[in-house]
Amino acid sequence: MTLLSVNVNKIAVLRNSRGGALPSPVAFVRRAVAAGVRGITVHPRPDRRHITAEDVVEIAAALPTGVEFNIEGNPFAPPRPGYPGLLALAERTRPAQVTFVPDGDGQITSDHGFDPGALPPTIGAQIAAFRALGARVSLFVDPGETTMGTLKDLGANRVEIYTGPYAEAHAAGRPADALRACRRTADAAQAAGLGVNAGHDLSQDNLADFLAGVTGVLEVSIGHALVAEALVDGWAPTLIRYRAITGG
């Protein structure tokens, strides 16, 4: 079984494009939980272009026991007005998992992972700070990366494989090499004692092939494609289809 964690950032994008309160990310979270989803992901960014710090707090308060809350973000992004920093958000909301992503302010979306051979010198302290809050720590890594011992030594619990290149290759009808790269990373992580998550551009079209080709994936985080598909087929039916693919 692979846990489906639904990323609701795009719900906030739609709300923010107009202003006001609709659509409400927390309302869609509640509907996801009602449809049997047991994981919710948010990725608040300092520029507040989608999920805001206030959303993170409201969503955390709305989640019942047994639903995992995963907050993604760059732990090195400094606090600023409207964004208290990733650690401060985790201190307030106590997520089950925090996923470190090395994104910058100018990025439209996450497009690369951490290089385990060139990590910031304070990343061990960052991992320790989040783990002290009771959060599992996962690091976003590129497909094909196999240097995993360092991450384990620093205290990380999991890695999340960046699946954007796989999704692009799958859409082009040539997924084999990209899938093998993801599998190498998963195998290396598991050999080092790390759990494996995956995310970015996964969809109903490519998810089953990914999970068949990369064994032992514990969790997938899916938002953009899921929301796009739900615009056509409805929120609950789309979630049910994803749960059927993942088994979770």
Question: Which are the catalytic amino acids?
Answer: 43, 72, 200
**Distance separating alpha carbons of residues 228 and 176, to the nearest angstrom:** 26
Q: Is residue 42 classed as helix, strand or coil in its secondary structure?
A: strand
* Amino acid at site 196: V
Which of 108, 45, 99, 109 is closest to 72 using CA atoms?
99
Mention every residue, 6+ apart, whose C-beta is less than 8 A from residue 181. 143, 144, 165, 166
Which of 64, 68, 56 is closest to 9 using CA atoms?
56
Q: Is residue 211 classed as helix, strand or coil in its secondary structure?
A: helix
